[in-house]
């Protein structure tokens, strides 16, 4: 039933509004949040593939009765195939990512509820609004609709930082909003140029106009639109020059919230990336530009991560660096590379969430994230420490975990495309990621416990351990059976290219 | 005397460009947070004006198809309504963002007693705030 498609967005929004109203009623908030967090990953599993037209306004060619009643000059023109309504497209690719987002959201909410004494209604509201917004970004085939939900997601992310009560969270939120308020309108301006040139904001219609020569695809206006939308994409994804602010927002949010925030970023990154690829990939220097920014993200991300003494900032920079691998997939532009990039995106959402929740338990135990002040935590929960270690290995690309599979595919794709230099950089960044992670793990778990380190809590909440264990299990399953993710992605990429 | 005339659409496009440039200058170079926020509002409104302008048609009619109208004549003479519908949503988003930014600016003013970004976001944070010796709310009533 295609009615399930809009429900993926509507249910989190309704839940968010309800939770905001009930924020002082702890038990009700908790129960509703958990129930909806369970429903969110289930809906994509039971929904049928297809299109959903808001208002029921399908293109004229989809309605043969109406089409036959129209004058021939309209029925036989290109107008008949244009989309008059906002369209949601749901395929195996969207199913995979919405399911992964739902799983990560569930664990983030589950851990959040277990680690905080009082349930924060506004935090839950913002989390569900963010989930709804990011799901809509992934589903929509309308570039303006995407912009609207992109702004809602940005506001939700800012709100999540504001509710964290960490040091300097307001300053970081303001900085993010100021940067975002420049990036957002410029993206809107780019969409305005697209509207001006193509007369539509539906992505399929725009691609149709380009491929059928209805508009000049190399006009200066199109180039300007590309520049502005590309700038908005850099801001949305946290690629350089926005890598510092993006990693700051991860470090100022609570770890379980950061686990969700990075999921928002990765999905926004791939959704806008796919749109840019569909509309502008024929432009000269398109691929080179994306490769340059992706390599910059990888190099700057890992360079800054290795210098951090705060593990939240370290994870933030590592997450930004990992985005570079996804960008490389788009930049190389082959079937294998884009499949690898999108597979890497799926893996990154899971692995980074695991690490944020895993290191979040350290903050729960000690109330600090400074690695210089930590040590000797292996004895508190050795099983948890090993799970976090394996999660770190997955991020670094150690076989047979999922990170290894996707990074190997990216390296193969770059070799196939005749760019061995990119393969070398990718391998070096992987090694540096491994070193960074091992250094942080040693500082937190293995080095002798500092005398002045006091445990605020004696044990880790079970929901956090369960979340980490299940996320790790997904990493191992995707590492051994990568085709679970690569098959739907590859099928989608086939249609894209 | 030189008679200078300019097309309405072109004038609107120039105005939107001016809005965006002035807004970018204010958002990037001015120190006061409120001025930065006003600059951001300028950028947003510049982008909105640009999109509204796209739907403008010289001598056009309101895009409402009334009974008795000839379809071809209507298609040739009506303004393009899609940009106007989009801008309505965009204005709402802009207003929400501005509201959140102003709320954060208020909180930060109470904390630092200043609206200067150099003080709030830069390295010029007062030592008393850095050390956390006093509750930041105590500084709330001081002027910049």
The span from the CA of B116 to the CA of B109, in Å, is: 9
pLDDT at residue A414, rounded to an integer: 95
pLDDT the model gives residue B126:
58
What pLDDT sits at residue A13?
96
Which of A:117-156 have CB within 8 Å of B?
144, 147-148, 151-152, 155
Residues 6+ apart with CB under 8 A from A87: A51, A52, A53, A54, A140, A141, A142, A202, A204
Find where tokens 């006009």 sit. A219
- Overall average pLDDT of the B74-103 stretch: 92
Q: Which chain B residue has the Cα nearest residue A143?
A: B86
CB-nearest to B104 from A147, A173, A184 is: A173
Quick one: pLDDT at residue A72? 78
Q: Please indicate whether residue B126 or residue A196 has the higher confidence score (pLDDT).
A: A196
**Residue B2: predicted pLDDT:** 53
CB count within 10 Å of CB B115 equals 20
Contact between A497 and A335 under an 8 Å Cβ cutoff? The reply is yes
When pLDDT is cut at 50, 70 and 90, the band that residue B133 belongs to is very low
Task: Find, among A329, A331, A351, the residue nearest to A404 by Cα.
Answer: A351
B143 band by pLDDT with thresholds 50, 70 and 90: very low
What is the distance in angstroms between the CA of the first residue and the CA of the last residue of chain B? 50
For range A44-58, the mean pLDDT: 89
Give, as one character, the DSSP assignment of residue B123.
S
Is residue A378 within 8 Å of A385, Cβ to Cβ? yes
User: For residue B136, what pLDDT band results from cuts at 50, 70 and 90?
Assistant: very low
Answer yes or no: is pLDDT of B92 > 80: yes
Q: Give the whole-number percent of chain B exceeding pLDDT 90.
A: 53
Using DSSP, how many helices (H) and how many strands (E) does chain B show?
6, 0
Q: For A217, which DSSP code?
A: T
User: Measured between beta carbons, which residues in chain A are less than 8 angstroms from residue B119?
Assistant: none
> What confidence tens digit (pLDDT) does each residue in A218-235 have?
889 999 999 999 999 998
Give the closest of A175, A177, A189 to B97, CB-based. A177
DSSP symbols for A107-152: HHHHHHHHH-SS--HHHHHHHHHHHHHHHHHHHB-BHHHHHHHHHH
**Residue contact A170–B107, C-beta within 8 A:** yes
Cα A299 from Cα A305, distance rounded (Å): 10
Contacts of A170 in chain B (CB under 8 A): 104, 107-108, 111
Task: Using DSSP bridges, classify how beta strands A50-53 and A87-90 pair: parallel, antiparallel or unpaired.
Answer: antiparallel
d(CA A149, CA A155): 10
d(CA A423, CA A421): 5
Q: What is the Cα–Cα distance from A336 to A412, expressed in whole angstroms?
A: 8
> Which segment of A319-323, A475-479, B128-132 scores lowest on mean pLDDT?
B128-132
Query: pLDDT, tens digit, for every residue of A63-82?
Result: 888 888 877 777 777 778 88
Burial class of A28 by CB neighbour count within 10 A (0 to 12, 13 to 18, 19+)? middle
Q: What residues pair up with A140 in beta bridges, in sequence order?
A: A88
Computed over every residue of chain A, the mean pLDDT equals: 91
- The more confidently predicted of residues B71 and A252 is A252
The average pLDDT across B5-9 equals 78
Q: How confident is the model at residue B138 (pLDDT cuts 50, 70, 90)?
A: very low
What pLDDT was estimated at residue B125? Answer: 61
Mean pLDDT score, A298-310: 92
What percentage of chain A carries pLDDT values higher than 70?
Answer: 100
Which band of pLDDT confidence, cut at 50, 70 and 90, is reported for residue A475?
Answer: very high
**Confidence tier at A57 by pLDDT (50, 70, 90):** confident
Reported residue count of chain A is 497
Q: Is A296 helix (H, G, I), strand (E, B) or coil?
A: helix
- Within 10 Å of residue A62's Cβ, how many Cβ atoms? 14
- Per cent of chain B over pLDDT 70 is 81
Cβ atoms of residues A386 and A141 within 8 Å: no
Which residues of chain A lie closer than 8 angstroms to B47, CB-CB?
185-186, 188-189, 192
CA distance readout (Å), A133 to A12, A147, A156, A276, A478? 9, 10, 9, 19, 26
Q: What is the pLDDT of residue B144?
A: 34
pLDDT of the residue at A216: 87
Which residue in A has a C-alpha nearest to residue B34's C-alpha? Answer: A178
Look at residue B139 in the predicted model and tell me its pLDDT: 42
Residues of chain B contacting residue A144, judged by C-beta atoms under 8 Å apart: 86, 89
Give the largest CA-CA distance in chain B: 76
Give A368's DSSP letter.
-
Q: What is the pLDDT of residue B129?
A: 53
The answer, yes or no, to whether residue A261 has pLDDT greater than 70, is: yes
> Distance between CA atoms of A256 and A119, rounded to whole angstroms?
14
| Model pLDDT for residues A388-413, shown as the tens digit of each residue | 999 999 999 998 899 999 999 999 99
> A493 is written with which tokens?
């990429």
Q: Residue range A451-471: average pLDDT?
A: 89
Can you give the pLDDT at residue B137?
Answer: 42
Q: What is the pLDDT of residues A481-493, one digit of tens each?
A: 999 999 999 999 9
| A192 vs B28, B47, B108: nearest CB | B47
Predicted local confidence at residue A454, as pLDDT: 85
CATH architecture of B8-60+81-139: Orthogonal Bundle (1.10)
Distance CA B121, CA B33 (A): 10
| Interface contact A229, partner B, CB < 8 A | no
Nearest-CA distance from A29 to chain B in Å? 24
Of residues B129 and A145, the one with the higher pLDDT is: A145
**Is-contact A369 A395, C-beta < 8 A?**
no
Q: Is A418 left (phi over 0), alpha (psi -120 to 50) or beta?
A: left
* Pick from A254-263, A310-319, A345-354, B68-77: least confident: B68-77
Average pLDDT over residues A324-339: 94
- Mean pLDDT, range A432-436, rounded to an integer: 94
pLDDT at B4: 58
Residue A336: pLDDT band (50, 70, 90) is very high
> How many helices (H) and strands (E) would you count in chain A?
20, 2
pLDDT on residue A125: 92
**What are the residue ranges spanned by the domains of chain B?**
8-60+81-139
Residues 6+ apart with CB under 8 A from B24: A182, B39, B43
What's residue A1's pLDDT? Answer: 55
Mean pLDDT value across residues B32-61: 93
pLDDT band at residue B100, thresholds of 50, 70 and 90? very high
What pLDDT does A350 receive? 96
CA A250 – CA A355 distance, rounded (Å): 12
**B21 contacts in A (CB within 8 Å)?**
none
> Residue B113, CB half-sphere, CA atoms under 13 Å: how many?
15
pLDDT of amino acid B8: 86
pLDDT of residue A445: 92
């Amino acid at each position: 039933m295609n009615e399930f498609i809009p429900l993926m967005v509507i249910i989190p929004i309704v839940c968010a509004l309800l939770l905001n109203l009930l924020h002082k009623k702890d038990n009700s908030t908790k129960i509703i949040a958990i129930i909806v967090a369970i429903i969110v990953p289930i809906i994509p599993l039971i929904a049928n593939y297809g299109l959903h037209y808001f208002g029921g306004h399908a293109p004229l060619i989809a309605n043969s009765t109406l089409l036959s009643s129209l004058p021939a000059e309209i029925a036989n023109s290109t107008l008949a195939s244009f989309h008059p309504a906002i369209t949601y497209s749901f395929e195996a690719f969207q199913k995979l990512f919405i399911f992964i987002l739902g799983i990560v959201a569930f664990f983030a909410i589950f851990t959040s509820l277990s680690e905080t004494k009082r349930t924060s209604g506004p935090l839950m509201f913002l989390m569900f609004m963010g989930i709804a917004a990011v799901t809509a970004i992934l589903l929509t085939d309308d570039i303006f609709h995407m912009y609207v939900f992109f702004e809602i997601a940005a506001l939700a992310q800012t709100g999540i930082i504001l509710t964290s009560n960490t040091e300097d969270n307001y300053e970081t939120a303001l900085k993010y909003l100021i940067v975002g308020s420049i990036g957002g309108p410029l993206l809107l301006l780019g969409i305005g140029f697209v509207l001006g040139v193509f007369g539509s904001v539906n992505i399929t219609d725009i691609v149709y106009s380009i491929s059928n020569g209805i508009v000049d695809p190399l006009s200066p206006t199109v180039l300007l639109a590309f520049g502005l939308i590309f700038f908005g994409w850099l801001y949305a994804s946290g690629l350089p020059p926005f890598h510092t602010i993006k990693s700051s927002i991860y470090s100022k949010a609570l770890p379980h919230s950061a686990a969700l925030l990075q999921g928002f970023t990765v999905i926004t990154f791939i959704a806008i990336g796919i749109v840019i690829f569909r509309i502008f990939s024929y432009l000269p220097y398109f691929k080179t530009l994306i490769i340059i920014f992706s390599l910059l993200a990888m190099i700057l991300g890992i360079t800054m991560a290795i210098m951090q003494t705060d593990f939240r900032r370290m994870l933030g920079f590592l997450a930004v660096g990992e985005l570079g691998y996804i960008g490389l997939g788009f930049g190389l532009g082959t079937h294998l590379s884009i499949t690898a990039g999108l597979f890497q995106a799926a893996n990154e959402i899971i692995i980074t969430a695991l690490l944020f929740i895993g290191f979040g338990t350290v903050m729960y135990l000690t109330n600090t994230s400074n690695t210089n002040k930590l040590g000797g935590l292996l004895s508190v929960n050795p099983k948890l420490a090993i799970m976090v270690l394996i999660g770190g290995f997955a991020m670094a690309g150690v076989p047979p975990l999922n990170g290894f599979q996707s990074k190997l595919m990216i390296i193969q794709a770059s070799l196939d495309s005749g760019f061995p230099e990119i393969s070398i950089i990718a391998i070096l960044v992987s090694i540096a990621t491994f070193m960074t992670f091992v250094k942080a793990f040693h500082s937190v778990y293995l080095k002798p416990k500092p005398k002045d380190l006091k445990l605020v809590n004696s044990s880790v909440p079970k929901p956090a351990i369960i979340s980490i264990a299940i996320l790790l299990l997904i990493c191992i399953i995707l590492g051994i059976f990568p085709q679970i993710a690569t098959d739907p992605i590859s099928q989608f990429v086939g249609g894209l290219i | 005397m030189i008679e200078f005339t300019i097309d309405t659409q072109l004038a609107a496009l120039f105005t939107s460009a001016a809005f965006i440039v002035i807004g970018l200058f204010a958002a990037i170079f001015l120190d006061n947070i409120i001025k930065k926020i006003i600059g951001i509002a300028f950028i947003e409104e510049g982008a909105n004006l640009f999109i509204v302008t796209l739907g403008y048609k010289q001598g056009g009619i309101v895009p409402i198809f009334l009974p008795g109208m000839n379809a071809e004549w209507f298609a040739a003479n009506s303004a393009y309504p899609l940009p106007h519908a989009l801008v309505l949503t965009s204005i709402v988003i802009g207003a929400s963002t501005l509201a959140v930014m102003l709320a954060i600016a208020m909180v930060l003013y109470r904390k630092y007693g200043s609206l200067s970004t150099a003080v709030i976001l830069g390295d010029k944070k007062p030592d008393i705030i850095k050390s956390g010796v006093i509750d930041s709310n105590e500084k709330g009533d001081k002027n910049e």
